[in-house]
Structure formats: C-alpha cells, structure tokens
C-alpha cells in the first residue's frame, strides 16, 4: 500500500489529486443512482422510522435521481471555483470542507445503516472502498504538504458536522421541488 501511495505522490501534483474529489464522488453517486431508487422504495418504513425528526418525507425515484444529480454537479462546480486557490486560501478550505462532508457521509449514513440492518445499503461499497481511503489520503497529503494544519483539519470537521445535515436536507428538498415540476 505504501508503494502505491508513494507512486501516486510522485505521479500527481496536489492540485491533480484535488481534481479527484468530484471524480471519486461521482463514482459513489453512480452506485447510489443504480441502487437507491428501488432500495428506498422497498425500505421506506425503515427510513421514515429512523429519521431524527418527525416529519413526512417524500421519496420518489425521480426525486432521488434529481437529488443525486445535484449532489454530483454541485461538487464539480465547487471544485472548478476552488481548485486554483493558493495554499491556506479560503477557496481551498471550501474544497476541503466538501471532502470532510464526504468523509462524514461514509460513516453516516453508509456504514451506520449497513451495521444497523446488517446488509447492503446504496452507496456503501464505494463509500468504504473509494471515498474513505481517498479522503484519508487527501487529508494526510494536505497535512504533509502544509495545505492544512491539524487544527485546521479539526475545525473543518467541526464545521462539516454542522453543515452536512442542512446541506443534505436542502439537496433532498430541491430534488423534490424539481421532481414536482417546480
């Protein structure tokens, strides 16, 4: 594994590695797009009973696919807008924040739901096989190359924990709104 990481370190600049943020996320969202609509429809009572709030939530296949489309396009736009930021710039912090949210998403809901149901749930394979190792690699390399200090990484994750739920909820609601025809 170390040789592979050393090879990647020698082959790709840090900015090239940052371009992998939307690429890896897109692979993850493709897995979800292929499996989520039918899985959600089959498991809707479980999902509704495990929401952290008591509200009727709408899930339809078109809404789910639209939400996944938004969750794919927005990170591409964020990357385009932030990739040319200088070391320690707010633009790059915003891109690192996106990756921190992606890393949190590996654990909640993907790993947590799989452990709860002791079964597959949409996205868990790419979350564990791609998003988790890529996130760890990215943050380790960002630290090693002085893009982020430990304290900055900690603050990124604190902010990510706060903003992840409202961002996920907003993406869901926008997908629902578009699916209903505005």
Q: Which residues contact 132 (CB under 8 A, 6 or more apart)?
A: 103, 106
Closest CA to 47 of 100, 122, 103: 122
Q: Is the pLDDT of residue 5 over 70?
A: no
Q: Is 44 contained in some domain?
A: no
Q: Is the pLDDT of residue 57 over 90?
A: no
Please state the pTM of the whole predicted model: 0.91
What would the mean pLDDT of 40-50 be, rounded to a whole number? 84
| Cα diameter, the chain | 51
With bands split at pLDDT 50, 70 and 90, how would you rate the model's confidence at 181? confident
pLDDT digit string, tens, across residues 125-161: 999 999 999 999 999 999 999 999 999 999 999 999 9
Report the alpha-carbon distance of residue 117 to residue 115 in Å, rounded. 6
pLDDT digit string, tens, across residues 72-111: 999 999 999 999 999 999 999 999 999 999 999 999 999 9
Q: Is 9 contained in some domain?
A: no
Q: Is 48 contained in some domain?
A: no
Question: Is there a contact between 110 and 167 (Cβ–Cβ < 8 Å)?
Answer: no
Per the structure, the complete domain to which residue 69 belongs is given by 17-38+58-179
Q: Is 164 contained in some domain?
A: yes
pLDDT given at position 182: 65
Q: Is 10 contained in some domain?
A: no
Residue 112 is classified by DSSP as H
Q: Is 155 contained in some domain?
A: yes
Closest CA to 91 of 100, 101, 81, 99: 81
- Number of folded domains in the chain? 1
Mean pLDDT, the chain, whole residue set: 92
Distant-in-sequence contacts of 32-39, Cβ < 8 A, 24+ apart = 32/68, 32/122, 32/123, 33/64, 33/65, 33/68, 35/120, 35/122, 35/123, 36/64, 36/68, 36/122, 36/123, 37/61, 37/64, 37/65, 39/121, 39/122
């Amino acid at each position: 594994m170390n040789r592979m990481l050393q090879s990647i370190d020698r082959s790709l600049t840090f900015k090239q590695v940052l371009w992998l943020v939307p690429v890896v996320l897109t692979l993850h969202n493709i897995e979800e797009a292929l499996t989520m609509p039918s899985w959600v429809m089959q498991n809707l009572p479980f999902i509704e009973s495990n929401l952290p709030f008591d509200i009727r939530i709408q899930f339809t296949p078109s809404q789910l696919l639209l939400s996944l489309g938004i969750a794919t396009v927005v990170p591409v736009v964020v990357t385009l807008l932030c990739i040319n930021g200088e070391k320690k710039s707010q633009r790059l912090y915003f891109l690192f924040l996106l990756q921190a949210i992606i890393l949190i998403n590996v654990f909640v809901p993907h790993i947590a739901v799989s452990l709860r149901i002791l079964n597959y749930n949409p996205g868990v394979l790419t979350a564990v096989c791609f998003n988790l190792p890529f996130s760890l690699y990215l943050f380790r390399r960002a630290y090693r190359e002085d893009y982020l200090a430990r304290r900055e990484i900690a603050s990124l994750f604190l902010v990510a924990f706060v903003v992840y739920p409202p961002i996920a909820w907003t993406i869901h609601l926008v997908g629902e709104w578009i699916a209903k025809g505005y």
